[in-house]
């Protein structure tokens, strides 16, 4: 049986509730707040580079920040840099805010970095230049995989806390594609060893199957820098 279509009354109600919610979000959001960081989850903050500048060290320490994900393009390295390498642990990612940039390849390492921080009861700030596109996409991907939720739900959660986020269209498409990727990972984790072995046996017998993981991983490392507190 097909699900009944929504009536005009129901659609109008949904539109009203959406606009009502957006109205109150805008009431709580002021333009200058885009220059500060916001807490997306307990211990996970998202913001612009201005929230991690040298003058902001007291604020970072007040919030208990211990780790920082610094997102920048190589041409931005002269003005977007790890300012406190002796105070915080850094993960520096060279990512261009370009719709054709392959940002998916950075999702796993970002999640691993954030997970290790939170597991040690630390707090992490993820920032790019404006804290709107690249860094927002990384945080959205983290929520998607960590909680097994869809892109739209993760986006809404982040936007409710940092209203100015706006990942570029290429990043949005990749985030939507990432749903299938992390769901496949989840399926593998839930499979028994016998089922997993049987699945790999079937894949090994398929023509044209090659192992390119090592090659891709090696290429990714060129755009990643990890700085530990000394």
Q: How confident is the model at residue 4 (pLDDT cuts 50, 70, 90)?
A: very low
How high is the pLDDT of residue 7? 62
Work out the average pLDDT over 185-211: 59
How far apart CA 57 and CA 208 sit, in angstroms, is 53
Work out the average pLDDT over 45-62: 96
Pairing mode of beta strands 44-47, 89-94: unpaired
Q: For the sheet containing 224-227, what is the strand order?
A: 38-41, 44-47, 124-127, 67-72, 89-94, 224-227
Bigger pLDDT: 178 vs 3:
178
Q: How confident is the model at residue 210 (pLDDT cuts 50, 70, 90)?
A: very low
Could you tell me which residues come within 8 angstroms of residue 150 by beta carbon, excluding any fewer than 6 positions away?
Answer: 144, 179
> What b/e readout covers 8-21, taking b as 16+ CB neighbours within 10 angstroms?
eeeeeeeeeeeeee
pLDDT in tens, 74-109: 999 889 999 999 999 999 999 999 999 999 999 999
Considering only 58-67, 78-87, 165-174, 179-188, which range has the smallest mean pLDDT?
179-188
**Mean pLDDT estimate for the chain:** 82
Which domains, ranges and CATH numbers included, belong to the chain? 35-189 (3.90.190.10)
Considering only 53-67, 79-93, 105-119, 212-226, which range has the smallest mean pLDDT?
212-226
């Amino acid at each position: 049986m097909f699900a009944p279509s929504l009536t005009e009354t129901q659609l109008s109600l949904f539109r009203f509730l959406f606009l009502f919610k957006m109205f109150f979000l805008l009431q709580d959001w002021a333009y200058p707040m885009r220059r500060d960081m916001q807490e997306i989850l307990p211990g996970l903050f998202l913001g612009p580079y201005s929230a991690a500048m040298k003058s902001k060290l007291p604020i970072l320490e007040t919030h208990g920040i211990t780790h920082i994900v610094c997102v920048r393009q190589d041409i931005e390295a002269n003005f977007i840099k790890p300012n406190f390498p002796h105070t915080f642990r850094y993960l520096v990612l060279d990512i261009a805010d370009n719709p054709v940039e392959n940002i998916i390849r950075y999702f796993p390492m970002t999640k691993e970095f954030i997970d290790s921080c939170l597991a040690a009861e630390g707090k992490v700030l993820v920032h790019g230049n404006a804290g709107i596109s690249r860094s927002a996409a990384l945080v959205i991907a983290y929520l998607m995989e960590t909680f097994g939720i869809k892109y739209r739900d993760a986006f809404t959660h982040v936007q409710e806390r940092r209203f100015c986020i706006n990942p570029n269209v290429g990043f949005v498409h990749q985030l939507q594609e990432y749903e299938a990727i992390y769901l496949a990972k989840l399926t593998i984790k839930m499979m028994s060893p016998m089922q997993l072995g049987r699945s790999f046996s079937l894949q090994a017998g398929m023509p044209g199957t090659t192992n390119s993981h090592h090659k891709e991983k090696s290429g990714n490392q060129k755009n990643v820098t990890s700085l530990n507190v000394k």
